[in-house]
Amino acid sequence: MEIDIESYLEEMRENNPDAFLKLMQEAEMIDMFNSTGIQQRMFYAYNFVSKKFYTVNATLRREGALTRIWVEDASDQYMTETLLDNLLANLESFSGANSIDPTKGIVEIDTMLFGQPPNYDGDGIVDFLVLDIKDSYSPDENNEFIAGYFSPTDQTNQAMSNKMDLMYLDSYPGFFDGQNYRTEPVLSTTAHEFQHLIHYNYDQNEELWINEGLSQLAGTYCGYGIDFPYLYLENPNQSLTVWEQKLQDYSRANLWTLYCAEQLGLEFIKNLTQNPSNGIASFNESLQFMGSPASIADVFRSWTLANLINDRSVDPRYGYIATEASGLRASVTRLVYQYPETVTGIVKGLGVEYHRFRGRDSLQFNFAGTIPQNYWLVSRNNLYSIASILQNSYHAPFFSDDSTYILLLYSTVQDMAYRYDSYASFSLRYFDMVYDDGQTDVTVRFDSGNLPAVAANRFIVPENNLDLESVRFWSASSDYNALIRVLSNNGSQLPGTDLISPLNIMPESRNNWVEIPLPEKLSGLRENEIIYVAVEINEANKAIGYDNTLASGRSYLKLSGNNWSLLSNYSFSTNNEPASGLWMIRASFSGLIQSDSISDQSVEEDLIVLNNFPNPFVSQKAGKNGNGTHFSFQIINPGYLRIAVYDILGRKVHEMSRQVTPEGRPGSSVYNAIFWDGYGENGPLAAGIYIYRLTFLDAISGKRIHSPYRKLVILN
């Protein structure tokens, strides 16, 4: 947080000279007072509501080897001795359980990561002022508050500067929320703001996406978690370098800087902090200083894959190391499941979109105009094939729901518009049943006396003959066992018996959606049939998401020793307000239908194709036993035949064309045959599975006819 003190003083000098003179006199008095006492002093602080400075009296309450803690006299009521001891210990002696080094405090970890603070006052000590920061917090109307800040004004000799290396921490509701004494909300901010103080010592003009990202990393590496990762992962088409002071900016910067620290090392992080250049130039110069030939574009490309895959066993570049990032994955930006469909959009500079394709049989999409930067991912059972599409038209044979197909679109330069037309033989009826608004209003915990606690949402099947394929719920906790249950309707509009065997799952990350594909889909559901998706909690103080919405859904709760009841019959223990909202539990239903039209891929009786023979085969010239293979077919009229061969990633590896005339009529035993030796442009193809298709252009009717895709195997 930076306050423009020069503009503030100049405006006061011109518009209110009497107030300016009084302020200067007051500053002299404060300097005189502070020079006479060590245990007490007066501080300037900033009122974020009135946008004015004010003074507070504070007393020195704790002093360590590296830090001093001052407490505003009016905040004594919020700061217990235990709380102050805990704060000093977290600053100097230990940090969070998932810290990069739990035996060190915030100050030592941040200086290890980023460098030294300024030491403006020359005493080698960092001061912390605990006060009730004047913000817009209201326990009844506004739960948001400023947990702490660093003011560059204090690093100057201007009026209203405290002239010291100082950070401000919030007493209420930071350390005391009206009911509970706590440190966690403030400690993460302390690590965050202390990085800003250090960064000020090296580079006072760094762009916010880097400076704030490093501060977010400070909170994570001091053991206080990752802030709101889902805010970026659910909407990843955000420019990495654009900063709008929104929560998703902090979410994005946190994940990006954590990834850079894990992939490029802590020495890179320190160089980035201390590099005097700004923005992308600073990032690339820091890479060069480390001897890396990479650029920010290279790191960004790998990061887009890491956010989707997040599994270092696939590739060390494609996942996170930090425990807090385990299980985090980007959401699908666009689900393409009805064909034909034209998809358009704009990928932002240093942004990314993830398009998933669902359906069956061969998939084709054709780019119009410039092909955006991309990756094409096909995965099954945690095995991935990753390639880039370089041609405007792409075919994916053997398209099915057994595998996952993702088109990743990104840009390492400016915003990029795209358009493509997609086709498949079978479309998907798909319904993602969502009653919440995606924003978690309350995280609900259950004490041990209420366990097991089962939270459920009701879902009404939207169409006939659908399958329940997956469920999701929002978990505020991690590393606990929960049961996912799908229940029938008992006839009294309450959850009944299990329709599937309960699924035991363990959320890997907190404050994130947990998606659970059903091992076997619940099939054959009828339109308007009622089912319930439930999350059973068996461990105390584990929390799930609740949305205070007026949507049309219906939620239920079953506590230990009680029957099922509407959630609205319960009240929250903190304020006795009725729980009239909904659990953040979702369900996805699907079913296949034949597409209305496909991309010129219909199979015609005018072209009859047999399987190639022999199959498998060895390339003719690859060895003395090489035999090649024959493609056999029947046609009615003369024309032109093209045979295209693709690898399993859909890349064309060979194509040949022939002018052909019919040698046998359909129904006869006489077929045309074309021989292929198993060679591509660069010699014999490698052993493996390939896909081929015949395309015939009828010279009489002008009709273009495609055969189905078929499989061949080369044994070189």
Which 3-state string (H, E, C) describes 164-207? CCEEEEEHHHHHECCCCECCHHHHHHHHHHHHHHHHHHHCCCCC
Taking only the tens place, the pLDDT of each residue in 545-569 is 999 987 788 999 999 999 999 999 9
Beta partners for residue 458, in sequence order:
532
Q: Is the peptide bond before 185 cis (omega within 30 degrees of 0)?
A: no
Overall fold of domain 334-431 = Jelly Rolls (2.60.120)
Contacts of 41 (CB under 8 A, 6+ apart): 33, 34, 57, 58, 60, 70
Instruction: Return the pLDDT at 31.
Output: 61
Sheet containing 383-387, strands listed edge to edge, beginning at the edge strand earlier in sequence: 334-336, 351-357, 404-411, 373-380, 383-387
What CATH number was assigned to the domain covering residues 607-714? Answer: 2.60.40.4070
Mean of pLDDT values over 125-149: 92
What is the domain partition of the chain in residue ranges? 1-202, 205-314, 334-431, 441-593, 607-714
Measured distance CA(269)–CA(283) in Å, rounded: 10
> Global pTM?
0.76
Asked whether residue 430 carries a pLDDT value surpassing 60, the answer given is yes
Measured distance CA(132)–CA(135) in Å, rounded: 9
Helices (H), 566-687: none
Q: Is the peptide bond before 614 cis (omega within 30 degrees of 0)?
A: yes
Asked whether residue 623 carries a pLDDT value surpassing 60, the answer given is no
What CATH number was assigned to the domain covering residues 1-202? Answer: 3.30.2010.30
Measured distance CA(312)–CA(317) in Å, rounded: 7
DSSP for 514-542, please give it. Answer: EEEEEEEEEEEEPTT-EEEEEEEE-STT-
Asked whether residue 400 carries a pLDDT value surpassing 80, the answer given is yes
Asked whether residue 22 carries a pLDDT value surpassing 90, the answer given is no
Instruction: Return the pLDDT at 199.
Output: 98
Q: What is the 3-state secondary structure (H, E, C) of 433-461?
A: ECCCCCCCCEEEECCHHHCCEEEEEEEEC
Least Cα distance to 591 among 462, 489, 505 occurs for 462
Mean of pLDDT values over 188-194: 96
Q: Is the peptide bond before 495 cis (omega within 30 degrees of 0)?
A: no
Q: Give the C-alpha distances (Å, rounded to integers) separating 87 from 129, 249, 310.
A: 12, 28, 35
DSSP for 368-414, please give it. Answer: -SSPPEEEEEEEETTEEEEE---SSEEEESS--TTSEEEEEEEESSS
Asked whether residue 324 carries a pLDDT value surpassing 70, the answer given is yes
Q: How far is CA 487 from the centre of its chain?
A: 31
Asked whether residue 35 carries a pLDDT value surpassing 80, the answer given is no
Amino acid at 194: F
Beta partners for residue 472, in sequence order:
515, 586
Mode of pairing for the β-strands spanning 126-131 and 67-72: parallel
Q: Give the C-alpha distances (Å, rounded to integers) separating 712 from 67, 69, 203, 616, 689.
A: 72, 74, 61, 6, 6
Confidence of residue 387 (pLDDT cuts 50, 70, 90): very high
Is residue 541 packed enough to be buried (19+ CB in 10 Å), middle (13-18) or exposed (0-12)? exposed
Confidence of residue 332 (pLDDT cuts 50, 70, 90): very high
- Element (H or E) spanning 23, and its range? helix 17-36
Q: Do residues 491 and 529 touch, judged by C-beta distance below 8 A?
A: no
Asked whether residue 273 carries a pLDDT value surpassing 90, the answer given is yes
Measured distance CA(586)–CA(515) in Å, rounded: 9
Residue 325 three-state SS: helix
Q: Do residues 72 and 56 touch, judged by C-beta distance below 8 A?
A: yes
Q: Mean pLDDT of all residues in the chain?
A: 90
Residue 121 three-state SS: coil
Q: Do residues 407 and 373 touch, judged by C-beta distance below 8 A?
A: no
Instruction: Return the pLDDT at 401.
Output: 82
Confidence of residue 349 (pLDDT cuts 50, 70, 90): very high
The CATH architecture of the domain made up of 441-593 is: Sandwich (2.60)
CB atoms within 10 A of CB 710: 17
Q: Give the C-alpha distances (Å, rounded to integers) separating 192 from 68, 215, 395, 625.
A: 18, 4, 48, 69
Percentage of the chain with pLDDT > 90? 68
Taking only the tens place, the pLDDT of each residue in 655-690 is 999 999 888 766 666 788 999 999 988 889 998 888
Asked whether residue 602 carries a pLDDT value surpassing 80, the answer given is no
Asked whether residue 635 carries a pLDDT value surpassing 90, the answer given is no
Domains 334-431 and 441-593 share a fold: yes
Contacts of 289 (CB under 8 A, 6+ apart): 271, 275
Residue 239, both tokens = 């420019």
Asked whether residue 572 carries a pLDDT value surpassing 90, the answer given is no
Residue 451, both tokens = 């366990």
Asked whether residue 99 carries a pLDDT value surpassing 90, the answer given is yes
